[in-house]
Structures are given as C-alpha cells and as structure tokens.
Amino acid sequence: MTDAMGKLTISEILGQPQCWLDCFEALRRQDRFAGIRRQISGEQEWLFTGCGSSYNIAQIAAATWTQLSGRPARALPASEILLCPQGALPRSGAFQSVLISRSGWTSEVLRAGEFLQKQHGVPALAAVCEEGSPLEKMAAATLLLAAANDQSTAVTRAFSATVLALQALAADYSGQSPVAEMIPRLAGQMGQHLRTLPARIEEFVGARDFSHHIFLGQGPYHGVAQESVLKLMEMSCSSAQAFHTLEFRHGPKAVTNPRLLVTFFLSKFGYDAECAVLEEIKGLGATTMVIANRADEATRRSADLLIELDLEAPEFLRPAAAVIPGQLLGYYLSRKNGINADRPPHLNRVVSLEPETESIP
C-alpha cells in the first residue's frame, strides 16, 4: 500500500464543506429553486428514486419532504419501478418523479424515467452532478450540482450535496426558512470538525479488529445508516448491515460480540429510545461508535467512540453531516485492509448496462 491509495477519495470526503458552498452558490446564481417551482407542482405525491447511494439519498429526501410539507412522499430503488411497478407505484392520482444519479448515466434510473414518462405521463425532476448527461436531457427540470461530481468510485461529496439540495428544495416548496442561508454556518462547523475527526477515526480503526459492522438509525438517519454500510462495503470490502435502531432488538442482536462494531446515529426525536438500545447493546459486549448532535452522560458511558457534531442547523439538515464519519470509517478500513478506495475491486464509477447483455425491460 502506498500513500497514493485512496488519495482522491479522502480529498473528496474532506472537501465536502467547501463543495456545499460551491453548489449552493451555483444554485443561487441560476435561481434554480424558483425555476423548478415554476415547472414542477408540489401538490401531488413525490416519488424519489435512484440506485445505490442515490437510493439512500432518495430515502432521506422523501422523509424530509413529508416532514416539511406534510404531503406524502416515497423512495424506491429504480429496479422496483422497472420490475414491480404494480406493487410499487401510487395506484391513483398524479405523482411527481425525482430521478437521482451522480453521473446521469445510470441505466436503471434512465429506464425508470422513460417508463414513468411513457406509462404514466410523469415529468421527471433530475438531481445530477454531470452537466449534459442523458438524465439531464430527459428531465423536465434539473437540480444540477456540478461541483459535487466525485471522480472516485464511491459516492461521497455527491451524496451530502444532493441530500442538502433536495432538502433545500423541500424547504422552499414548504415555505420554511431558506436552507441556503444555513449552509455557510453548517459548512463552517463541519470544516472545524474535519480538522480532528479523521485522526480520531483512524486511531480507532487502527487499535481494533472487527469481524462485522452494524449501522443503526431511525427516520432519515436510516438512510444515513444504509449509506454508511455501502461506503464500508465499497471502499474496504468489509462485511456490514443496517437496521432501524429499535429493530436491532428483534433478532439481529443475537450476533453481538466484542468484535462487532455497532454504530448508532442518534436523533433528537428518538434520542431516549435509541439510547436505551445503545446501553443494551453495549451491555451485551459490542464495541460502539456513536454519532449524535449532543450527547448526555449515559451516552458517553456507552460509547467507545463518541462523535458530537454540535451543529446549530435544524435536525432535518443534519444527516448530510452525520454521514461523514461513516465515509471516514470506510476509508480508514480500506487502508487497513490494503484496498485502494479510489478504485475498489469489481466496481465501476457508473453502472451502465449494455442492452444486448442485460435483462431489465
């Protein structure tokens, strides 16, 4: 292993606060949110879809949309729309599709968009990081985040920037305080954290050997947990799973042992109930990592590694910051495992399927 391994990935992880500033400045210059509101109605149910990290973005975005607007939203993998539309799509009434893809070239997302346009007459809103992509050309309106277009295989800054942009759009439709005004403060606070957080996680990873990793989160933090699983699997080829926090009691806790690392994303809305699970799992012998905005004394006692974000942003904006410790965990495990996080085995930056060889309709 050389120092060059994963250099691109760690640069993109650490550059996220500046990336957020750049993305929102571009959105402001283009008056992008107002343009989307002129083209896309916010009255009907919204359907967010993507693949991999983009599906995890969709889950957070759908939860935020419902929370802020009070109107229904759902998140689906693009493959469910293609293979099981009768069980996945709304049965009645109009709905709005939001197609998410870092590159804008993901085959399943493009085909899901084509299907929804052809079969249901649904215009697409695209969230994409690559200008001029097929997804942007297909969409009726586009949330373009060119500054977030990762060049490494694993999605990192594109994840957090797209989450924030979709949350800002939800706030805009719902008449909430403008998110764009909150981004500089959020970026500044996370920039301060990133001066010390990488070394803390690197030391934590270096001092322990884990056989398995579990990530737990409720509400929008479940999407963060799933994305953290994906980062570990992609970057370090480690074994990992995600559950809703309280669901871990219902069977999965049987795997608890000292070589199991359980990472908790603690929410404000469910803090007491989630902390009770943390104390229980720590009592069963697991190693624990906790990401919370602010922690009480009971949480401090139960955390082997405690990361307090101490953000002033409202809770719906915190998932984009909360995912960064999971990204760093994946990166430092990749180095420990001798894997180049920039180009992990068996993965490509874009999943683009050849029509002649794949079977998706």
The pLDDT tens digits of the residues spanning 222-270 come to: 999 999 999 999 999 999 999 999 999 999 999 999 999 999 999 999 9
Neighbours of 318 (CB within 10 A): 22
The pLDDT of residue 354 is 61
Task: State pLDDT tens for residues 132-148.
Answer: 999 999 999 999 999 99
The pLDDT of residue 287 is 98
pLDDT higher than 60, residue 164? yes
The pLDDT of residue 357 is 44
SS3 string, 257-298, reads CCCEEEEEECCCCCHHHHHHHHHHHHHCCCEEEEEECCCCHH
Domains and CATH numbers, the chain: 7-186 (3.40.50.10490), 196-336 (3.40.50.10490)
The pLDDT of residue 351 is 65
**How many CA atoms, within 13 angstroms, populate the side-chain half-sphere of residue 37?**
13
Q: What is the pTM of this model?
A: 0.94
Percent of the chain with pLDDT over 90: 85
Least Cα distance to 326 among 279, 261, 274 occurs for 261
Three-state DSSP class for 307?
Answer: strand
pLDDT level of residue 1 (50, 70, 90 thresholds): very low
Least Cα distance to 20 among 218, 133, 124, 167 occurs for 167
pLDDT higher than 90, residue 294? yes
The pLDDT of residue 355 is 57
pLDDT higher than 50, residue 356? no
Task: Please tell me which residue, 360 or 180, carries the higher pLDDT value.
Answer: 180
pLDDT higher than 70, residue 92? no
